[in-house]
Amino acid sequence: MSIDTHDLKPLTIPAWQDLVQGLAKWDLWGRLGFLEVKRRYRRTIIGPFWSALTLGIFIATMGTVGIGLWRQDAATYLPYLTSGMLVWLMISTMLTEAGNLFIGGAHLFRQVRFDYSILAYALVWRNLIVFLHNLIIYVVIVVVFAPHIIKPTILLVIPGLFFIIANGVWLALLLGMLCLRFRDVQQLIVSVIQISMLVTPIFWPESMLEGTKRMVFVELNPLFHFVDVVRAPLIGKLPLAFSYEMVVAFTAVGWIATYLIFHHFRKRIAFWS
């Protein structure tokens, strides 16, 4: 049943309350995220493990090329490539899906009173589920090629994932609003992600660059630092201290800016849809 735009009654609660109430409804966004993963792989035999299988084929292909191209040892390069792709797929998918956050969720908040932040939490949650499925490929690679890299430092993966999740929420809200208001932004996001994948040390080791190139593509690249805080523990290393500094700064600035924008434009979301 369609509803006339004039009959829409946007939530009058403040933005902070939307974020808090939305987070408290973990059963709702948890269910939404789970059902979305289930819907994508409906009527398939291995379900969400198709994502892991696809990643495994990619690692096998790209790993073979990378070992020869950059003269890397398999025990070093394959865990590096696998862990980097695990994080990159999670980040890039969240960014891509963020553009459709309010466009695809319009049927929900146009019909009932709804905390908009629930959609962002559900988006991050379903991508975390996929990440955990893909983690199987990492386990296989490490067991076969480099069991020695499993060290106590692997526990640092937890705070690393926390930073990615925390940033995923505000990025989903911000990009969701931008793409809802300006539909061309969605295509821009896809283009930027494609380019970023090539200039970020995912396939190639960051040690290959020095001087100005290293500063531009590694040290000043926020994507590298978000990858580093998860990838480094997975390959038995400590993340760079500068990576934590960049991630914390990016998180703080991003949340402050997004909250101000969400607070100002939140009431217009239903009318833009």
So what's the pLDDT on residue 50?
A: 81
The Cα angle at residue 158 between residues 155 and 160, in degrees rounded to 5: 110
pTM of the model: 0.89
Residue 51 has pLDDT above 80, yes or no: yes
Instruction: Grade residue 189 by pLDDT with cuts at 50, 70 and 90.
Output: very high
∠ CA 219-58-68, nearest 5°, is: 70
| Residue from 211, 216, 11 nearest 110 by CA | 11
The model's confidence at residue 8, banded by pLDDT at 50, 70 and 90, is very low
Distances (CA, A) of 63 to 90, 132, 217, 241, 243: 19, 21, 22, 28, 25
Rounded to 10°, the helix 157-181/241-265 angle is 30
Amino acid found at 89: L
- Name which of 171, 186, 192, 197 is nearest 250 in CA terms: 171
Per-residue buried b or exposed e for 41-57, using 16+ beta carbons within 10 Å of the residue's own CB: eeeeeeebeebbeebbe
Task: Give the pLDDT mean for 23-36.
Answer: 91
Instruction: Identify the CA nearest to 201 among candidates 240, 172, 166.
Output: 240
**pLDDT mean over 169-177:** 96
Residue 215 DSSP class: I
The confidence score (pLDDT) of residue 259 equals: 96
* Per-residue pLDDT reduced to its tens digit, 131-166: 999 999 999 999 999 999 999 999 999 999 999 999
Percent of the chain, pLDDT > 70?
93
Residue-level pLDDT at 5:
40
End-to-end CA distance of the chain: 16
Q: For all residues of the chain together, what is the average pLDDT?
A: 88
**Using an 8 Å Cβ cutoff, are 268 and 98 in contact?**
no
